[in-house]
Amino acid sequence: MTSADTTATDLAERAGDADGVATPPGPDGYPVLGNVLSLADDAFEFYETLSDHGDVARYRVLGRRATP
């Protein structure tokens, strides 16, 4: 794989487990903004959709990791 093949998702996955600890699954977000647009649009619906990812989920808001 070349550096051109590296995607934003690859970089995000590597950032989440930089210390070797697996991160919980969660919804995809935008670079820098994370999931703030989905959260601001309808917070209750956003938290309901987190259950699609399991009992523990992760999301990002303005570059910061969060878990409900």
**Predicted TM-score (pTM) above 0.75:** no
- What pLDDT score does 45 carry? 93
Q: Which residue has the higher pLDDT, 9 or 36?
A: 36
Q: Position of tokens 């808001």?
A: 61
DSSP 5: G
Percent of the chain with pLDDT over 90: 15
- How far is CA 62 from each of CA 12, 33, 59, rounded to the nearest angstrom? 14, 4, 10
pLDDT of residue 42: 92
Taking only the tens place, the pLDDT of each residue in 8-30 is 555 555 555 556 678 888 888 88
- How far is residue 26's CA from residue 32's CA, in Å, rounded to a whole number? 16
